[in-house]
A and B are shown apart, each in its own frame.
Chain A
Amino acid sequence: MTSPLERHPYGEHAIVLPPKSQTTHDAADIDREIRLLMYRRLHEIRQFEKRAYDMFMQNLVKGTTHLSLGMEAVAAGFGATMREDDYTFATYRGHAHTLARGVPMEGILAELLGRSNGLLGGKGGSMHLTSVEHGMMGSYAIIGAHLTIANGAAWSAQYRGSGQVAVCFFGDGTTNIGAFHEALNYAAVFSLPVVFVCENNLYMEYTAISDITAVPRPAADRAGAYGLQPVVVDGNDADACYLAARDALEHARSGRGPVLIEALTYRHGGHSRADPGKYKPPGELEAWLAHDPLKIYRGRLERIGVPSSALDEIESQVGQAVDAATEAAKNGPLPEQALAYTDVWADGGHSWRN
């Protein structure tokens, strides 16, 4: 018995349940202002991703999209802790991390639509969102590469003595590619100020991570091999993510080297586009919907005394912002044809011969 599908039929692997408690961090030492910001971020990401999905289904979003529905807390928690000049490196599933650095919605949505008011002028698309002025150093679509690139940004920060930290987000599936292991060893050897965050959503594309990984915790169980501590957090609890991020950033910024965090989470939808997620065993999605990042956080804020009207107000403000961004994105003109030929080289052009 070697192949996972000899052990069980496709989609009938063991369910992984979310953590039981939603109140663990109620009394955490986090400013109310920051918590309200995180609440706003959670909603921005949720409502943005829903809109992106709807627009994809209407054939307005071109190509593909990888949404973070259900995974909002990781981005919200980290985004709220990072210093303004810290670096974010994300994957093709990067809308959330882009929003979490404060990049306006319009440019992101317009980029998905291939419009000239897109963040990248329509030249990168959903999988490559980047906004250097916000510290969003890119979204990378080849598994593993950006862990090594994040090391480089961390090295540069270390060399310049700037105190910046690079934070690199990636999936569970990414822990099985060579670049992950190269990057962790490299970061550890040179004590780089980098925080690696594995968003373990239990699946690669259409295969359960548990079926094809030698250890149960894809990131945490590898930490020891690089002299790092195994850290697992509830990736659906924004406060848990915030606290883990705060510690990790402190650690990295103070010169004590890299940190590897495994944030346990779940994507409510499919891997990309219109994937129906048939590989998910019955009951799993329901269990995770009950541990939804937005529900958890709203419950917490109400328990600590934030009036629900204030929370409703945030939600409706976000809704208006998404609507406005949608209109602006849709109204954006198509990119000028000349844009296809710009910025191959530093001189702005594409000429390769005389």
Chain B
Amino acid sequence: MAQLTYREAVARGIAQEMNRDERVVLIGEDIAGAGGVFKTTVGLLEQFGPRRVLDTPISEQAILGAAMGAAMTGLRPIAEIMFSDFFAVCWDIVVNQMAKTRYMTNGQVSIPLVVKSGNGGGLRFGAQHSQSIENWAMAVPGLKVVTPSCPEDVVGLMAAAVRSDDPVLFFEHKGLYASRGEVPDGPIEDVLGKAKIRRSGEHATIAALGMMVPRAVEAAERLAAQGISCEVIDVRSLIPLDAQTILDSVGRTGRLFTVEENPRALGWGAEIASIVGDEGFWDLDGPIVRITTPHVPLPSADSLEDLVIPSVDRIVAEVEKAMQA
């Protein structure tokens, strides 16, 4: 067991896969010599050399196109998009090319690649460097979408993403980079499409993603002191989605809350609410409550950003209110 930061875990996961498989290569802006603007790729250039770890121009389309073309022809690239907001300038490659080419070619082409990206708010970076964009990706058939919430999952899900024969968008939460956690020694491989119960509880299920997971856990601790026992599910993977773990939990608790950093409309929590509404309706003892960032761009001032992104206080208050009603 080692204590690693979330950002160290990113490099550990990539190194694990690059050691295992010659075909894994890494490209992105400032990722090689500088070790990444978020220091998530420190040491990889030194370990694997400039043939496998490449600094690219500021050309997001060229980066993702290169990753895709290489994936189609025998490599298993990892590409970095520095801030997930920048997906907007290369979304064509992701949505029209990576996501659809296997389908359109009737299975002739395989696209085993990972796009890793710094995602999410809380760092006062303002509306263009703080978004949580999982919902954009989840809306496109053909993309796998994962967001780990702790260092151990970063390593395991990175391994699963690299080994997947489908394109995976791997969202690293910028607000978690400095957080620490235990990571077992030796190789780790997790699976895509498996949620994890972070805390068991009897009265309510809280489904959360990324930085909202530690907040939901903390909220659950406080709610427990008031006699409300919450089960916290770390959704981890939006596509594929482990709906069953959530449905089973709601079957036990009778209540569902989602905690979403993403803006409200058409959020991943809405999809989960819809599934539970369809398939878990008779288990529900009350309305499903979505606790989300409102449908606004993220403000930069710390006081305002803290106001809009779901906080521990807000999660506690919303759960209390709904459970007392």
Q: Which residues of A contact B (CB under 8 A)?
A: 87, 120-121, 123-124, 128, 130-132, 137-138, 140-142, 144-157, 159-160, 166, 178-179, 182-183, 185-186, 189-190, 339, 342-346, 348, 350-354
Contact = CB atoms under 8 A, between A and B. Distances in A.
CB-CB nearest 9 A-B residue pairs: A152-B69, A148-B65, A346-B165, A182-B59, A343-B107, A182-B62, A186-B62, A121-B106, A353-B241
B244 interface: yes
Contacts of A160: 74-75
Nearest to A111: B106
B27 to A, nearest CB: 9
Given A152-B77, A346-B102, A354-B240, 11 more contacts: A145-B92, A148-B68, A149-B97, A152-B69, A155-B69, A159-B75, A179-B65, A344-B141, A345-B102, A348-B107, A353-B240
B64 interface: yes
Interface of B: 25, 51, 54, 56-57, 59, 61-75, 77, 92-93, 96-97, 101-110, 112, 141-142, 164-166, 193, 239-244, 275
B73 A186 contact: no
A32 B113 CA distance: 45
A35 B156 CA distance: 56
Contacts of B242: 353-354
B66 A186 contact: yes
A178 B62 CA distance: 10
30 contacts: A121-B106, A123-B105, A124-B105, A128-B105, A132-B108, A137-B109, A146-B65, A146-B97, A148-B61, A149-B65, A152-B66, A152-B69, A152-B72, A155-B66, A155-B70, A156-B72, A166-B69, A179-B65, A182-B61, A183-B65, A186-B62, A186-B63, A339-B106, A343-B102, A343-B106, A345-B142, A346-B102, A346-B165, A350-B141, A353-B241
Nearest to B239: A352
Contacts of B107: 342-343, 348
Given A145-B61, A189-B57, A345-B166, A152 B67 contact: yes
B69 A185 contact: no
Contacts of B164: 346
Given A153-B73, A185-B59, A353-B241, A147 B65 contact: yes
B217 to A, nearest CB: 24
Nearest to B244: A354
A198 to B, nearest CB: 17
Contacts of B51: 159
Q: Which of B63, B73, B96, B102 has the most CB of A within 10 A?
A: B73
Q: Which of B107, B110, B243 has the most CB of A within 10 A?
A: B107
Contacts of B74: 156, 160
Nearest to B77: A152
Contacts of B54: 190
A180 B142 CA distance: 25
B104 A152 contact: no
A83 to B, nearest CB: 14
A323 B325 CA distance: 74
Contact of B73 (A123, A144, A157, A344): A157
A344 B69 contact: no
A157 B166 CA distance: 21
A159 B97 contact: no
Contact of A185 (B62, B67, B73, B243): B62
A314 B102 CA distance: 37
Nearest to A183: B62
A132 B109 contact: yes
B110 A353 contact: no
B258 to A, nearest CB: 15
A255 to B, nearest CB: 14
A202 to B, nearest CB: 26
Given A138-B105, A149-B72, A343-B106, A353 B57 contact: no
A263 B101 CA distance: 28
